[in-house]
Amino acid sequence: MINNPMIIGTLELKNRLVMPPMHTGKGDRGHVTDDLIQYYADRAKFSKPGLIICEHCCITEQGRASETQLSIADDSCIAEHRRLTDAIHEAGSKVFIQLNHAGSMAEPLDGGEIVSASATASPRRPQAKTPRALTTEEIHGIEKAWADAAIRALKADYDGVEIHSAHGYLLNQFYSPLTNGREDEYSSKTMGNRLRFLLETVQTVKEAIGIDIPLAVRLGGSDYCEGGSTEEDAVEACRMLTDAGVHILDISGGMCGYIRPDVTGPGYFSTMTEKINAAVKTPIILTGGVKTMREADALLQARKADLIGVGRALFQDAHWREKG
């Protein structure tokens, strides 16, 4: 099944293998480098994923996660990103960009202040400076920054856009009860409130790029820790994201990051994707612990998801697929 093609709206994938977004450290203060382009081109050429989702790019300097993170925060980035998409397309894969604001996990180069849902440090970086809670006006400004970045991505010939709401970054900080101590309409008191920032971002992005452009959300569905978000929360959130018109749900961890502390092995987020798959028709990407094509195929056969992401194995070896 992993080699079967798939059509998602206007997106045609030659197979169901996905290279998920993974930070390479090959960027240079936001800029695409020749080394980075070669890295992605090699993986498209030799492992032949139907879809590559490039590593997270900051939408503003305030939201930068590290010095080596890529940026698409202004128009000067478009040409160099087009060099990247051209190389991936030439090698035979479709490519999305992942857009991100790191929130309390940010490390802006200009030393600017750190912001989040509330004045609560991320459990993923507890020693970091305490963030300042965003105002409603600032939230709307960041939503526009996401839309502006998405427009630049299309000008750079990306085939679609993924909004990063996982791994303890800003949108995930609003979704998780561990970091959302607000008392307004973005509070953690209801799922509608917890997801409001993300849903507004989805709407703003879709209005900017059009409803038919493929739009994915990487959702950190469960924190897998006491007091955090749960798999049941993820099901409810995915119902709302489906209603909002999201085309692909890319499921991962929340404050636990891209690992699951209590489970290992191929497809370790599959207990969550199974529940989501039973609740919505939106195509689902499952990533985590998959090391072989046989494992990927087995997860598809078991209906754990619609597409399978292979992360670290592909990260380490562009020739991964050739080795079985």
In tens, the pLDDT along 144-179 reads: 999 999 999 999 999 999 999 999 999 999 999 999
DSSP string of 205-259?
Answer: HHHHH-TTS-EEEEEEEE--STTS--HHHHHHHHHHHHHTT-SEEEEEESTTTTS
Q: Average of pLDDT values for 218-243?
A: 98
In tens, the pLDDT along 29-43 reads: 999 999 999 999 999
- CB count within 10 Å of CB 212 equals 12
User: For the whole prediction, is pTM greater than 0.85?
Assistant: yes
Is 158 among the residues known to form the active site?
A: no
**pLDDT over threshold 80, residue 94:** yes
Residue 15 structure tokens: 């197979």
Catalytic residue among 39, 169, 175, 258: 169
Could you give the domains of the chain?
17-317 (3.20.20.70)
Instruction: State which amino acid sits at residue 109.
Output: L
Q: Where does the pLDDT of residue 236 fall: very low under 50, low under 70, confident under 90, or very high at 90 and above?
A: very high
Per the prediction, the chain carries an average pLDDT of 96
**pLDDT over threshold 90, residue 124:** no
Q: Average of pLDDT values for 9-19?
A: 97
| Per-residue confidence (pLDDT) for residue 108, from 0 to 100 | 87
Q: Is 164 left (phi over 0), alpha (psi -120 to 50) or beta?
A: beta
In tens, the pLDDT along 54-90 reads: 999 999 999 999 999 999 999 999 999 999 999 999 9
**pLDDT over threshold 90, residue 127:** no
**pLDDT over threshold 70, residue 324:** no
Q: Average of pLDDT values for 310-314?
A: 96
CA dist 269 and 255 (Å) reads 14
Q: Where does the pLDDT of residue 122 fall: very low under 50, low under 70, confident under 90, or very high at 90 and above?
A: confident
